[in-house]
Amino acid sequence: MESIGSPWMWAGFIGFVLAMLALDLGVFHRQAHKVGVKEAGIWSLVWVGCALAFNALLWNSFGPQRGMEFLTGYLIEKALSVDNIFVFVLIFGAFSVPEAYQHRVLFWGILGALVMRAIFVGLGAALIASFHWVLYLFGAFLVITGIKMLLMRDQGFDPRKNPLFRLFQRLVPAVETYHGPAFTVVKDGRRYATPLLLVLVAVELTDLVFAVDSVPAIFAVTKDPFIVFTSNIFAILGLRSLYFLLAGVVGRFHLLKVGLSLVLVFVGLKMLLVEVFKVPVTWSLAVIGLLVGGSVAASLLLPRKAAASPAGLPEGGVP
């Protein structure tokens, strides 16, 4: 099926994203401040509203099939992005990042994520177009990843143990204290990285890992690179506000990882069985909604006995 993304549609979408990001940082978050629940809630509604409006535009312009593909891809990425929030909580806790500077880190982190996702989508689309068997490779990878996530117990996460992060620390001179919202500081005529830049690197490495799972998952729904890219990007754009909205309560959703694991297994099997039985998009949307919604509801109905924050950190997030 031919892609619906003409050059002017690609240019228009990218222009819209850049304009919204400029408005976000240049107007609403010009001054570093703690993002409260009310502000995060408003921005979450704005981003979800933008995604649904774009969905309606695709639906009216290209038919319900393409509209459902976008909505399902958006829901998959939105659900998987909650896993990012668990890790963001751990990173900010491990580095004791002041709340006033967390939005700045996530803004630039997600800006880098947009570039990485574009590269992943482009490579994925090119591979599938040239080598159809790659689709089965993606499917097997998602099934294995989902099973591993389902069986693996929560473990403490320390971004400082990542080999790429440790290499960055060795190569880039850094100071040990925060200097406001600055990523670098000049001392004695020499430029140093602040801890905030180190946190940004950890956030970028985290998204790189998650992109490996999330981008192939959307290819299970549609092969159209425009729909894969736009649904992915809309979910990522709303990730910052979703973090500030859920960071304080995300630890309550202890069964969410089960739901996300089953989502990955489902979309992986969908890819592997595409030549045997093609699962309708509406069925995919229903199954994914049931798995994610069911895991959230089960978490609230069956709370953990021992109060703990994600991945074993004590309440408050700071080890």
- Total count of domains within the chain: 1
Gap between the Cα atoms of 300 and 168, Å rounded: 40
The alpha-helical segments, DSSP class H, found in the chain are 7-23, 37-62, 64-94, 99-130, 134-151, 163-171, 195-219, 225-237, 239-246, 256-272, 281-301
Instruction: Concatenate the DSSP letters of all residues of 193-211 into one string.
Output: E-HHHHHHHHHHHHHHHHH
Query: What would the pLDDT profile of 5-52 be if each residue is shown by its tens digit?
Result: 788 999 999 898 888 888 776 666 666 667 777 888 888 899 999 999
Residue 314 is given by DSSP the state P
Q: Which residues, listed in sequence order, are joined to residue 185 by a DSSP beta bridge? A: 192
Q: Are 223 and 112 in contact (CB under 8 A)?
A: no
With respect to residue 277, please indicate whether it lies within any of the assigned structural domains.
no
Instruction: Compute the mean pLDDT over every residue in the chain, rounded to the nearest whole number.
Output: 80
With respect to residue 143, please indicate whether it lies within any of the assigned structural domains.
no
Task: State the pLDDT confidence band at 102, using cuts at 50, 70 and 90.
Answer: confident
Q: Name the residue type at position 297.
A: A
Instruction: Say what the pTM is.
Output: 0.76
Query: What pLDDT score does 319 carry?
Result: 32
Instruction: Concatenate the DSSP letters of all residues of 31-51 into one string.
Output: S--PPPHHHHHHHHHHHHHHH
Gap between the Cα atoms of 61 and 103, Å rounded: 35
| Start-to-end CA span in the chain (Å) | 51
Query: What pLDDT score does 220 carry?
Result: 81
Q: Are 260 and 83 in contact (CB under 8 A)?
A: yes
With respect to residue 105, please indicate whether it lies within any of the assigned structural domains.
yes
Residues 6+ apart with CB under 8 A from 167: none
Distance of CA 279 to the CA centre of its chain: 25
Record the tokens describing residue 276, joined without a space.
């045997």
Domain membership of residue 182 as a residue range: 7-131+155-254+289-312
Record the tokens describing residue 54, joined without a space.
């774009």
Distance of CA 111 to the CA centre of its chain: 12
Gap between the Cα atoms of 96 and 149, Å rounded: 27
Task: State the pLDDT confidence band at 299, using cuts at 50, 70 and 90.
Answer: confident
Query: What pLDDT score does 248 carry?
Result: 64
The candidate with the shortest Cα–Cα distance to 174, out of 207, 212, 200, 203, is 200
Q: Are 124 and 219 in contact (CB under 8 A)?
A: yes
pLDDT at 108 over 90: no
pLDDT at 86 over 80: no
With respect to residue 56, please indicate whether it lies within any of the assigned structural domains.
yes
Gap between the Cα atoms of 207 and 85, Å rounded: 11
Q: Which residues, listed in sequence order, are joined to residue 70 by a DSSP beta bridge? A: none
Record the tokens describing residue 135, joined without a space.
């689709």
With respect to residue 185, please indicate whether it lies within any of the assigned structural domains.
yes
Gap between the Cα atoms of 118 and 220, Å rounded: 17
With respect to residue 91, please indicate whether it lies within any of the assigned structural domains.
yes
With respect to residue 279, please indicate whether it lies within any of the assigned structural domains.
no
Query: What would the pLDDT profile of 222-268 be if each residue is shown by its tens digit?
Result: 889 899 999 989 988 888 888 887 776 666 777 878 888 888 888 88
